[in-house]
């Protein structure tokens, strides 16, 4: 089954900008932090480090500059948002260049938002029998979820399907826009019906079926305030529904067949990284044959390995957490002459809303992206000492993950492919 991955580029850009430390290009002072974070996020989807996604086709969807059709419906749409920071504006074209350098189509259509174009491609792909994964943390996309379309939030590392939508909105995906029309959306300056929040809206829509049936029956509602609000703000609710509903019929210039996932190690991206001074994203030289370990020795057992890596990661800079929640050990092993990436790490369950730890640390192992027995793999890998070059790759990736997601107690495994086929995993 072919899978189309639609990356919400606009959402990713802003998340990268706010999550990463400020970075500038040394040669001219050009801000680059958001571009760097964006490249890391996009590479994570393309290099196979998230086997639960494994797209055959991919596109990054951007918001075009200027106003869109929703401003004709309501000139105050998103009027509550301030101007984009100048150091982010100067990186927007660079992000489009990065997308092209990676061999991925960057798509946008004037007069429409990225969300509308994502809705359009999701519909076209599903109609063609493809599965669709939308990479975003935007709740507005939940109206698109169906048997072929799922959302993956890379920052929470979780999928959003029908059950998760119901948990969030209290209704299935096909009724989300009715709930949003009643409750409004303060983020986009979309007023709903005063006094009605998500829970009340969900209850009313479940009881009456849809927005128009509810509004036609508003006079029958027993609660006086709710009844008066629905009667008095019926047209505002209808306008809100127009604003929150995604247009799945945008004229799309790029065909889905042209969106095949590119091969890793593209020379265009190497040149782009060189221009941007991202020396750690791609390297020209091969790995060293010098093996290293703590005090010159490779750890002899699993417990020592965890201690070793905790010490190594903590030594990168003052730790964000007083005690690292996640320690990694990285190995590559040879099976039939083929290098296979191996990652062994400690994992904990966490409440996404409160940050509360819900479990003790447990040992997790992945071989080539598939779950495996940690003790067995440690024994198998023990005779293959890690090289200095591999170690340097590893700590660079770990440093990036800690900087990028400082509030997450456990970073997710991340694999980066370099042009020579070395596949470090942490």
Mean pLDDT value of segment 196-217: 96
Closest Cα to residue 110, out of 54, 63, 70? 63
For residue 146, tell me if it sits in a domain. yes
Whether residues 110 and 133 share a domain: the answer is yes
Closest Cα to residue 119, out of 144, 99, 136, 138? 144
Whether residues 9 and 36 share a domain: the answer is yes
pLDDT, tens digit, for every residue of 107-153?
A: 999 999 999 999 999 999 999 999 999 999 899 999 999 999 999 98
For residue 46, tell me if it sits in a domain. yes
Name the residue with higher pLDDT: 123 or 335.
123
Whether residues 9 and 156 share a domain: the answer is yes
The CATH number for 104's domain is 3.40.50.1010
Q: Which structural domain, as residue segments, surrounds residue 190? A: 173-244
Query: Total domain count for the chain?
Result: 3
Residue 363, pLDDT score: 62
Whether residues 16 and 149 share a domain: the answer is yes
Residue 378, pLDDT score: 54
Domain's final residue, options 219, 244, 269:
244
CA 60 → CA 15, 53, 97, 168, 324, distances in Å?
15, 15, 12, 26, 34
Radius of gyration over alpha carbons of the chain, in Å? Answer: 24
Least confident of 27-41, 54-68, 255-269, 270-284: 270-284
pLDDT, tens digit, for every residue of 268-304?
A: 888 888 889 887 675 432 333 322 233 334 444 445 5
How buried is 359 (Cβ within 10 angstroms: 0-12 exposed, 13-18 middle, 19+ buried)? Answer: exposed
Whether residues 87 and 140 share a domain: the answer is yes
Whether residues 145 and 178 share a domain: the answer is no
Whether residues 181 and 151 share a domain: the answer is no
Place 104 in a pLDDT band, splitting at 50, 70 and 90: very high
Residue 115, pLDDT score: 96
For residue 112, tell me if it sits in a domain. yes
Whether residues 128 and 215 share a domain: the answer is no
pTM of the model: 0.68
Whether residues 230 and 141 share a domain: the answer is no
Counting DSSP H helices and E strands in the chain, the numbers are 16, 10
Residue 346, pLDDT score: 57
Closest Cα to residue 237, out of 262, 263, 266, 205? 205
Whether residues 21 and 154 share a domain: the answer is yes
Whether residues 125 and 201 share a domain: the answer is no
The CATH number for 236's domain is 1.10.150.20
């Amino acid at each position: 089954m072919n899978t189309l991955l639609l990356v919400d580029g606009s959402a990713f850009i802003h998340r990268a900008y706010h999550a990463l430390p400020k970075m500038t290009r040394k040669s001219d002072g050009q801000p680059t932090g958001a571009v760097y974070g964006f490249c890391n996020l996009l590479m994570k989807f393309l290099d196979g480090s998230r086997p639960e996604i494994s797209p055959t086709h991919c596109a990054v969807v951007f918001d075009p500059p200027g106003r869109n059709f929703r401003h004709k419906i309501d000139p105050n749409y998103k009027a509550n948002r301030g101007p984009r920071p100048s150091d982010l504006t100067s990186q927007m074209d660079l992000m489009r260049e990065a997308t092209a350098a990676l061999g991925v189509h960057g798509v946008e259509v004037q007069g429409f938002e990225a969300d509308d174009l994502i809705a359009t491609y999701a519909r076209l792909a599903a109609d063609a029998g493809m599965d669709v994964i939308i990479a975003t943390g935007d709740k507005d996309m939940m109206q698109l979820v169906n048997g072929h379309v799922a959302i993956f939030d890379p920052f929470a590392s979780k999928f959003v399907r029908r059950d998760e939508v119901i948990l969030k909105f209290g209704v299935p995906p096909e009724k989300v826009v009715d709930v949003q029309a009643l409750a409004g959306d303060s983020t986009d300056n979309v007023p709903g019906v005063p006094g009605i929040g998500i829970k009340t809206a969900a209850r009313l829509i479940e009881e009456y079926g849809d927005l128009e049936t509810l509004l036609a029956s508003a006079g029958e509602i027993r609660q006086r305030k709710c009844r008066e609000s629905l009667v008095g703000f019926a047209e505002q609710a209808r306008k809100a529904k127009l604003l929150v509903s995604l247009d799945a019929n945008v004229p799309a210039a790029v065909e889905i067949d042209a969106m095949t996932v590119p091969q890793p190690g593209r020379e265009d991206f190497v040149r782009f990284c060189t221009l941007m001074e991202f020396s750690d994203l791609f390297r020209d030289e091969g790995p060293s044959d010098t093996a290293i370990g703590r005090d010159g020795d490779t750890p002899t057992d699993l417990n020592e390995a965890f201690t070793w890596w905790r010490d190594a990661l903590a030594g990168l800079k003052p730790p964000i957490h007083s005690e690292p929640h996640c320690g990694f050990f990285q190995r590559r092993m040879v099976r039939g002459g083929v290098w296979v990436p191996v990652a062994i790490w400690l994992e904990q369950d966490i409440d996404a809303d409160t940050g509360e730890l819900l479990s003790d640390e447990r040992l997790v192992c992945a071989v080539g992206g598939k779950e495996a027995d940690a003790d067995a793999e440690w024994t198998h890998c023990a005779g293959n000492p890690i090289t200095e070059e591999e170690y340097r790759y590893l700590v660079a990736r770990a440093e990036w993950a800690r900087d990028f997601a400082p509030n997450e107690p456990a970073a997710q495994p991340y694999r980066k492919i370099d042009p020579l086929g070395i596949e470090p995993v942490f």
